Amino acid sequence: MADEPAISLQGLEKNFRVSQREPGLWPAIRALFRREWVEVAAVAELSFEIQRGERVGFLGPNGAGKTTTLKLLAGLLYPSGGRARVLGFDPADRRPEFLRRIALVMGQKRQLSWDLPSLDTFELNRVVFDVPRELYERRLAEMTELLDLGEVVRKPVRTLSLGERMKCELVAALLHAPEVLFLDEPTIGMDVSMQLAIREFIREYHRRHGATLVLTSHYMEDVAALCERILVIDEGRLCFDGSIGELVRRIRPLRRVAIRVTQRLDEGQERALEQLGQLALVGPPRLALDVDPERVPEVVARLLAVPGARDLEVQDAPLEEVMRELFARRASVREGATDTGDGA
């Protein structure tokens, strides 16, 4: 149905059964004959919906369950409980008509053949996804131009840089024009210019094709540039669903007012500024205060009066700091609950 969400999760769960043992020789020998197993919950009662055409950042600390969730949604893993629907399909069924409408791109995995040119993989995918030759040629030309690949697609993959390989991975994943695109750390390990090129390509692909995007990344610049909405999970559970602005206002409601300075403030100047807000950066080259929104005009006037002040900026706290504080708060709550439980 046209009005059905692109992605819908209801109480989705995924548990893994893993073995564990103590370090040392004898525990290792004993484990050969009798293993001890524990159940680990990677995803726990996860529920949300993503509408068609949305661009959503899927965030969380390492081990939060992000990649596991994407694999569940792409049909690579079978859930332990709950229900998932993607484009009206149950991903675990892995029906061909479902697989032709999605793509999963993982920055730390590759689908390109190491010793062959990327064009060979592109042609293989054309056959696998039954893309008509004329349509394939048009899409390949479009993406090659957008990504400025040129002759790169004709070189063996092993000779390519990380950024060039990732560009080719994106082309291989998108030649069949998927309606839902799962991106797991697509810019990991890249330099700033290559990250920017990948972001611009993904944004343009979404504009042209209206695809639904779900992005995981530890680079908050990726998320801020591409995503209108973010979902944050911790220990496999959803802990925030909303816009970046809403998350910032909830966790760090203060505004950051910053200037460039040519010399360090003396103690008297620092104490005077501390009366207005929290000193976040003490230059040179930058001086920044986190202040209540209603005090921004006053603080702007005071900072502009600092000798040599220039390049005034007023903005929300950086998303990296907001995420770090969010997870620190959740960890503190968990530790407090554990301490209470131990003392009971």
Cis peptide before 284 (omega within 30 of 0): yes
Instruction: With respect to residue 108, please indicate whether it lies within any of the assigned structural domains.
Output: yes
Q: Are residues 54 and 129 in the same domain?
A: yes
Instruction: With respect to residue 341, please indicate whether it lies within any of the assigned structural domains.
Output: no
Instruction: With respect to residue 211, please indicate whether it lies within any of the assigned structural domains.
Output: yes
Q: Half-sphere exposure of residue 335, counting CA atoms within 13 Å on the CB side? A: 6
Question: Residue-wise over 165-193: b if at least 16 C-beta within 10 A, else e?
Answer: bbbbbbbbbbbbbbbbbbbbbbbbebeee
Helices 162-174 and 192-209: crossing angle in degrees, nearest 10, is: 10
Tell me how far the alpha carbon of residue 138 is from its chain's centroid.
30
pTM for the complete prediction?
A: 0.81
Q: Are residues 227 and 108 in the same domain?
A: yes
Instruction: With respect to residue 324, please indicate whether it lies within any of the assigned structural domains.
Output: no
Task: Give the total number of structural domains in the chain.
Answer: 2
pLDDT of the residue at 337: 64
Average pLDDT value for residue range 50-75: 93
Element counts in the chain: helices (H) and strands (E): 12, 13
The string of pLDDT tens digits covering residues 181-227 is: 999 988 888 888 888 888 999 999 999 899 999 999 888 889 989 99
Q: Are residues 185 and 262 in the same domain?
A: no
Q: What CATH number is attached to the domain comprising 28? A: 3.40.50.300
Choice between 84 and 334, residue whose per-residue pLDDT is larger? 84
343 confidence band (pLDDT: 50, 70, 90)? very low
Q: Half-sphere exposure of residue 235, counting CA atoms within 13 Å on the CB side? A: 5
The string of pLDDT tens digits covering residues 248-299 is: 888 888 888 988 888 777 788 788 888 888 888 777 788 888 888 888 998 8
The string of pLDDT tens digits covering residues 293-339 is: 888 998 888 888 888 888 888 888 788 888 888 888 888 887 776 66
Task: Tell me which of 211, 229, 248 is where a domain ends.
Answer: 248
Q: What CATH number is attached to the domain comprising 298? A: 3.30.70.980
Task: Tell me which of 200, 232, 248 is where a domain ends.
Answer: 248
Q: Are residues 183 and 71 in the same domain?
A: yes
8 confidence band (pLDDT: 50, 70, 90)? very high
Domain interval for residue 300: 253-316
Task: Tell me which of 201, 227, 248 is where a domain ends.
Answer: 248
Instruction: With respect to residue 334, please indicate whether it lies within any of the assigned structural domains.
Output: no
Q: Are residues 80 and 125 in the same domain?
A: yes
Instruction: With respect to residue 322, please indicate whether it lies within any of the assigned structural domains.
Output: no
Tell me how far the alpha carbon of residue 66 is from its chain's centroid.
9
The string of pLDDT tens digits covering residues 136-145 is: 999 999 999 8
Identify the CA nearest to 270 among candidates 288, 296, 256. Answer: 288
The string of pLDDT tens digits covering residues 22-36 is: 888 888 888 888 888
pLDDT of the residue at 313: 87
User: Which of 46-55, 75-84, 211-220, 275-284 has the least mean pLDDT?
Assistant: 275-284
Contact 50, 6 (CB under 8 A): yes
